[in-house]
Amino acid sequence: MTPSDPRTAATRRALLDAATDALREVGYAGASAREIARRAGCNQALVFYHFDSVTGLLLAALDDVSERRLAEYRDTLAGARTLRELVDAAERVLAEDVDAGHVAVLTELLVAAASVPGLDVEVEARLAPWRALAQDAVARAFELVPLAGMVPPEEAAHVVVATLLGLELLAGAGDGLATTDRLFDRARTVAALLEPEPGPSAGPDRATEASRAPRPRTARP
């Protein structure tokens, strides 16, 4: 479906990346064809040639980011065996996304979906795999805590997704991001309380050393 001409692919790639950056830095309202093309270093008309419309490009950018990030999430979460490891994995991969602005792409389009006529179904469809992933993670966590079964995984997953998006939202204005770090520390504390002993066979704190290394933090422009 994608043409094999290398120049075409390069332009499309540049536009997709530029669209992501634009959504992160100037939001949906500021992500115009001209603004994106300027960032991509190409002409404004190419947006319409390759993606029909600005909205088409933005949705394609969301597809692009989702595909790559979902793979990363699935791999990382698959390796987690304890509640602690689950929290650590979530922190690692989520922090990466927040820093790179991948979450912002989703939130911006989600907000726009509430107003722009046909956009809601498109965004909802692209949100579905994330719901499924969250539900999977929640189901896994529920196997590990005594309270499991009190809350259906779909609803818990819905709240999890909502919370992550809300945190990203608050990070946009004000001090939000600073607290997100400490947040995961708290989550670990709570996890330690909820989690039953994983058995005395393994070392006492295997997951700790690897995951507690200070993560490099990229500043927002």
Q: Which residues bind DNA (CB under 7 A)?
A: 3, 5, 7-8, 10-11, 30, 32-35, 42-46, 48-50, 53-55
Q: What separation in angstroms does the CA of 215 have from each of 88, 92, 184?
A: 12, 8, 13
Q: Does 10 bind its own copies (CB under 8 A)?
A: no
Q: What separation in angstroms does the CA of 149 have from each of 83, 139, 144, 160, 162?
A: 16, 9, 11, 16, 20
Q: Does 25 bind its own copies (CB under 8 A)?
A: yes
> Binds 70, which of its own copies, DNA, none (CB < 5 to 8 A, cut-off by type)?
none
Per-residue DSSP letters for 55-87?
HHHHHHHHHHHHHHHHHHHHHHHHT--SHHHHH
CB closer to its own copies out of 214 and 221? 221
> Binds 173, which of DNA, its own copies, none (CB < 5 to 8 A, cut-off by type)?
its own copies
CB closer to its own copies out of 163 and 208? 163
> Binds 43, which of its own copies, DNA, none (CB < 5 to 8 A, cut-off by type)?
DNA
- What is d(CA 20, CA 22) in angstroms, rounded to the nearest whole number? 5
> Binds 161, which of DNA, its own copies, none (CB < 5 to 8 A, cut-off by type)?
its own copies
- What is d(CA 54, CA 59) in angstroms, rounded to the nearest whole number? 9
A 10 A CB-CB count for 206 gives: 13
Task: Identify which of 107, 123, 121 has the alpha carbon closest to the alpha carbon of residue 161.
Answer: 107
CB closer to DNA out of 9 and 151? 9
Q: Does 57 bind its own copies (CB under 8 A)?
A: no
Tell me which residues in 83-142 interact with its own copies (CB under 8 A): 104, 107-108, 110-116, 119-120, 123-124, 127
